[in-house]
Amino acid sequence: MDFSALRGDFPTMRTDKGVYLDSACQTLRPDSVIEAVVEYYERYPVCGGRSVHHLANEVSVRVDETREALNGFFGGESPGSFVFTKNTTEAINTVAFGLGLGKGDAVVTTDSEHNSNYVPWLTLRDAAGIEMRMSRSGSDGVFDLESFKAAMDRRVKLVSMCQCSNVTGCVVPIKAVAEIAHDYGARVLVDGSQAAPHMKVDMEDLDVDFYAMSVHKMLGPSGMGVLYGKGECLGGLRALQYGGGTVGLVTYGSVDFAPVPDRFEAGLQNYAGIFGTKAAVEYLAKAGMDNIARNDAELLRYMSSKTEDVKGLSVVGPEDPDARCALMSFNIEGLGAHDVAMMLDSIDGIMVRSGMHCAHPFFVSRKVEGSVRASVYLYNNREDIDRFAAALAKIAETFGGSRSRPPRG
């Protein structure tokens, strides 16, 4: 696969002369996704699933086609197993507050989760009396299967963890986790927001009960996410929201809820986003997820080799780039993460993320104030890495170490 040819598909790459290394936050979009969104507004700007005129019928068909594309791409049980959400956060909350967990029930996470996979459980701990348990990793964030096993017993009703950390890039062996969890009668919810864009995900092979992802991290439109669930598992969830589109018939005294997935998609949907989601999935399928994974790994190895001599650089997570998926989080001695990020942008338009990356407990527990995160994707190349490494070396040499920190600007 010639990934260098793909850069021309992205208008941001054609118009902005900087270097975009912030794809773990949100990816750029190719022409085909933008065109699909525009097509909705120009040709079919109506509501699907309600009216019966020809424009509405076309929208309804496109919605069904998008579910079919997702099912083919991710190897799900059926197209109806894919629920449209705003993002991973909404998908996780749908499961968290829909399972009916209560006092005496336990939920197991890891110590490297995004806030979206902590806050719902902390809320349910305080409001409903559930127990939160944690699988502990080493200082580098590498998943410890033995620690996970030690956290499991028959009181655990749900295991909820990321497949890939958005801080360290460490990948969790979800298939093994699911097998252990199911042996204890627990269900499995996966935060796949960092994994789904970068590796082949087969729902049948992983055998997970729920899988949440953000389409905006996989070339799709903003405000689009997906919750996958096995039919039996989705069928047992209470909806997070109620109203139009979620019901069959309502009387003054009763309500019959619609079947899955409509039950979870209250109100008018983001149809432009759904059009764009199908285009994004088709683009990724054409590029090939195995090809994308190999290209990500090659870029990360190159980044590691080009930055290994940068003065005062320390990696947050494993030193080995092959142990990290598509990102490198790091700090420069003597400099704050935000300072480094702003200087990278100022020097050569290098765009990265800085801070705690919405994974506060990971940093607080390790007494680290945050980090800079550079993340790669299919539109990046070695020239991008060269520019990043050169700017970073200049910053470290000029301002790092024992020198006083530059003023914030």
Alpha carbon distance 402, 125 (integer Å): 44
Judge contact between 377 and 351, C-beta under 8 A.
Answer: no
Q: What is the largest CA-CA distance in the chain?
A: 72
Tokens of 3: 């990934």
Alpha carbon distance 340, 300 (integer Å): 19
Tokens of 319: 């030193």
- Helix intervals (H) in 221-261: 231-235
What amino acid positions are annotated as catalytic residues?
A: 358
Tokens of 74: 């991710």
Judge contact between 360 and 115, C-beta under 8 A.
Answer: yes
Measure the N-to-C terminal CA separation of the chain; round to a whole number of Å. Answer: 42
- Helix intervals (H) in 253-405: 271-287, 289-307, 337-348, 360-365, 382-399
> SS3 of 53, please?
coil
Burial class from Cβ neighbours inside 10 Å (0-12, 13-18, 19+) for residue 189 reads buried
CB atoms within 10 A of CB 31: 14
Phi, psi of 337 (to 5 degrees): -60, -45
- Enclosing H/E stretch for 324: none
What secondary structure, in 3-state letters, does 93-140 show?
Answer: HHHHCCCCCCCCCEEEEECCCCHHHCHHHHHHHHHHCCEEEEECCCCC
Positions of E strands within 122-224: 131-135, 156-162, 187-191, 210-214
Judge contact between 169 and 304, C-beta under 8 A.
Answer: no
Closest CA to 400 of 304, 301, 329, 309: 309
Query: Is the peptide bond between 261 and the residue preceding it cis, with omega within 30 degrees of 0?
Result: yes
* β-strand pairing of 82-85 with 225-229: antiparallel
